[in-house]
Amino acid sequence: MLAGALLALVALVGISCTTDHPSAGEIEGPARSAETLDARRSARARASTALGAIESAPRPAGKQILFGDLHVHSTFSVDAFIHSLPLFNGEGAHPPADACDFARHCAGLDFFSINDHAESLTPKLWEETRESIRQCNARAGNPDDPDLAAFVGWEWTQTGRTPETHFGHKNVIFPGLRDDELPARPISSIDVNQYDEERPPPAFVLQGAAAIAHLLGYTEYADLISFLGSLAAVPACARNVDTRDLPPDCLEAAATPRELFRKLDEWGLESLVIPHGLAWGIHAPPGARLDVQLSAEQHDPKRQRLLEISSGHGNSEEFRDLPEYRLDEDGRRICPPPSPDYLPCCWQAGEIMRERCGDLPTDECERRVQDARQLALDGGVAPDLVFPDTRAADWLDCDQCRDCFKPAMTLRPAMSAQYGAAIDDPRSRDETGRPLRFRWGFISSTDNHAARPGTGYKQYDRPVMTDARGLTDATTEARVRSWLGPAQEDPARPQPVRPSRLFELFDTERKASFMYPGGLVAVHAEGRDRRSIWEALMRREVYGTSGPRILLWFDLLDGPDGVAPMGSEVASSSTPRFFVRAAGARKQRPGCPEESVLGLSAQRLHTLCRGECDHPGDVRHPITAIEVVRIRPRKDAAEPVAALIEDPWRTFACPPDPDGCRVEFEDPDFAASQRDAVYYVRALQEETPAINADGLRPVRDANGAVVSIEECHGGFGTSTDDDCLAPVQERAWSSPIYLDHDGHRRPPASATIADGLP
């Protein structure tokens, strides 16, 4: 009783010194001047004029290109909070207010959204998120011509252990700012009070532990534990109740996209739901396929208008016809052998076992090799835990795309943007009677977890400007592995994988080589105001870049209703003609512009921008090539998808002209093909150094086989001065133009934008 009383006293004293949730922070910087905005607008207009136009393709009056980031986390997200701790050489808290100052004065963006994981947003944090974004917009000057438009949203973070239950991550974004224009609660993918595994401790235990940690001087860790305690203290919302009838102070969950869309329908508010990172093998299990969510129940075309195909976590654009896992007579997957272009991790598990056989009899060694391959297959997203004592170098570049641009780690090709454009659901029909398809506009963003929107303006300070995180030293790493990770019971015997969500947050060694500064979303908007930006997003007149502010236009010249821009759906049976214009990003000058230096205090400028801001000069990087991708969606499920994706279908070399490149082309096959087609373009910029552009930095032998890797660690294994630079062609991806051959005309998008319909 005495011990209990003392513990209670310690807890009460400590709780008085801790907070139960992070703070949203304070915005410091004022709006940028009209002169700054006019200078940027003029530079983009000059580039458009220099590229010219042809008489048959005039540009709509007043339309301009704006750049933003629609995927930004603060330390209101638990994973971001964990990685901000001293354990990871973290910088400390980066709340939503930091995102506003960084977007405005470091990255020089036109718009951004905040997208913390709904799973960690308590009612108090959701309230503070909304208020911080309102304050950011309040500083933006004239609402009709603001210097920055900030949007409110969250991330629905779903991860399934099997391909049949995996849908992936989606950002939910809203155009409004008032309480009646936003949901009362974010909607997560998992009920934090009803975990199927690894149930967290009760709230009172966590708050007591936080108090003790605070008294012992571990303030940052006390704040994290207190944060988790505040989450555990919020009750779960009742199920099967209209979301509008639920109390505001509960945690709401939707286990599937179908349920998420139903709840959004109940709110009746305009919203965008943007899938992202779908091809990341760090979340998607082997065999994951977009087919699972292409149905009338799991796909909402009026909300899922856009797809984030690239981010600071890699590129999910490209499909690769990688070896399929075959099934044996018992329905278990069989590990495929390696090819010159691909090394399956399950196969490498067998090779690791073979090296450990030692004096084992040959037949026993071979049996264990086969066991290792099968257990690695069964291990899902963590095949390396078949041998928990291995390191990243032991696995070489297994399961990685060797010829992809800034690839996502452990590419899942059937979750890529190209695969999604090639499939349909013959069981479901859209409102015009056609087979249901994904008809996404393509964007890019950062997925930054330190409240830094638009980090790709310069390639510098890898530990700060990317999400590469790692533990501080070898001793700490060993302790974390012993505390959280599975033990290697017998080095000469593979063992079943026991997945651990908590351990995955700390197991950063291999992931750090696939973290990049991230990309941008660009819109062709009729104004700088938030409604103009929103309407451009809704009509899919958007494109993505890998970070630089590349300018891109892509139009169908001879649609039935005239010129149709990227993102359009057009019905036609004649030969299509297309027009592309692209100009490279302006070359960066060192340091920060005077307005940023004056707008933020010296300490805040250093903390957020690290002495470097978006500071463009007058000369642009040349565009070296325009690549055209053609995808002809399948007519039936028997058609192999690889044969339908032509990447690139056409390539046009560009002269080394800093004014940019223009290309006109047509598809003579379309009219006679009697099938629909999807077209989009990539504008490739001249080679420049980029962080992690060479991924795991593989070392090859004389025959080209990978014999070792030099991974770029997020922690102590790589110097913080090593930015892991390699040459790469930065790029912009247009949204597709969807050309339907059936002759059925759809109503123009502009006729239904006001209703929030496609």
Please give the pLDDT value at position 188.
96
- Report, as an integer, the average pLDDT of 578-584: 97
Least confident of 2-6, 379-383, 672-676: 2-6
Strand 111-114 with 149-157, pairing = parallel
Q: Is the pLDDT of residue 4 over 80?
A: no
Q: Is the pLDDT of residue 116 over 60?
A: yes
Please give the pLDDT value at position 749.
39
Q: Work out the pLDDT band at 427, boundaries 50, 70, 90.
A: confident
| CA atoms 105, 108, 109, 114: torsion sign | negative
The H or E element spanning position 421 is: helix 417-422
Question: 290 or 197: whose pLDDT is higher?
Answer: 290
Structure tokens at 583: 């100009």
Please give the pLDDT value at position 758.
28
- Report, as an integer, the average pLDDT of 639-647: 95
Q: Considering the chain, what is the average pLDDT of its residues?
A: 90
Strand 333-334 with 326-327, pairing = antiparallel
Q: Work out the pLDDT band at 21, boundaries 50, 70, 90.
A: low
- Report, as an integer, the average pLDDT of 258-268: 97
Q: Work out the pLDDT band at 192, boundaries 50, 70, 90.
A: low
List pLDDT tens digits, range 305-337: 999 999 999 999 999 998 876 777 777 788 999
- Residue of 455, 558, 494 lying closest to 356 (CA atoms): 494
Helix axes 203-215, 219-233, angle to 10 degrees: 170
Q: Is the pLDDT of residue 430 over 60?
A: yes
Please give the pLDDT value at position 7.
46
Please give the pLDDT value at position 8.
45
Please give the pLDDT value at position 57.
47
What's the rounded Cα separation, in Å, for the pair 356 and 605?
A: 52
Percentage of the residues of the chain whose pLDDT score is greater than 90? 76
Please give the pLDDT value at position 20.
58
Q: Is the pLDDT of residue 73 over 90?
A: yes
Please give the pLDDT value at position 202.
79
Q: Residue by residue, what is the 3-state secondary structure of 695-716?
A: CCCEEECCCCCEEEECCCCCCC
Q: Is the pLDDT of residue 703 over 90?
A: no
Q: Cβ distance 561 to 591 under 8 Å? A: no
| Structural domains of the chain ordered from first start | 31-182+269-321+405-468+513-755 (3.20.20.140), 326-400+471-507 (no CATH)
Q: Cβ distance 723 to 479 under 8 Å? A: no
Structure tokens at 69: 């980031």
- Report, as an integer, the average pLDDT of 238-257: 94
Please give the pLDDT value at position 751.
32
Strand 551-559 with 562-565, pairing = antiparallel
Q: Is the pLDDT of residue 189 over 80?
A: yes
Please give the pLDDT value at position 734.
98
List pLDDT tens digits, range 719-755: 999 999 999 999 999 999 999 997 544 444 333 333 3
List pLDDT tens digits, range 216-235: 888 999 999 999 899 889 99
Which amino acid is residue 247, in one-letter code?
A: P
Question: 339 or 509: whose pLDDT is higher?
Answer: 339
How many other C-beta atoms lie within 10 A of the C-beta of residue 563? 16
Please give the pLDDT value at position 507.
76
Q: Work out the pLDDT band at 153, boundaries 50, 70, 90.
A: very high
Q: Is the pLDDT of residue 561 over 60?
A: yes
Q: Is the pLDDT of residue 12 over 80?
A: no
List pLDDT tens digits, range 485-537: 888 889 999 999 987 767 777 777 889 999 999 999 999 999 999 999 999 99
- Report, as an integer, the average pLDDT of 675-690: 97
Side-chain half-sphere exposure of 19, counting CA atoms within 13 A: 8
Residues in the chain: 758
- Report, as an integer, the average pLDDT of 670-675: 92
The H or E element spanning position 223 is: helix 219-233
C-alpha pair distances (Å), 387 with each of 21, 225, 609, 656, 711 = 38, 31, 40, 51, 19
Q: Work out the pLDDT band at 15, boundaries 50, 70, 90.
A: very low
Rg value, the chain, Cα: 26
Q: Work out the pLDDT band at 38, boundaries 50, 70, 90.
A: very high
What's the rounded Cα separation, in Å, for the pair 162 and 148?
A: 41
Question: 190 or 415: whose pLDDT is higher?
Answer: 415
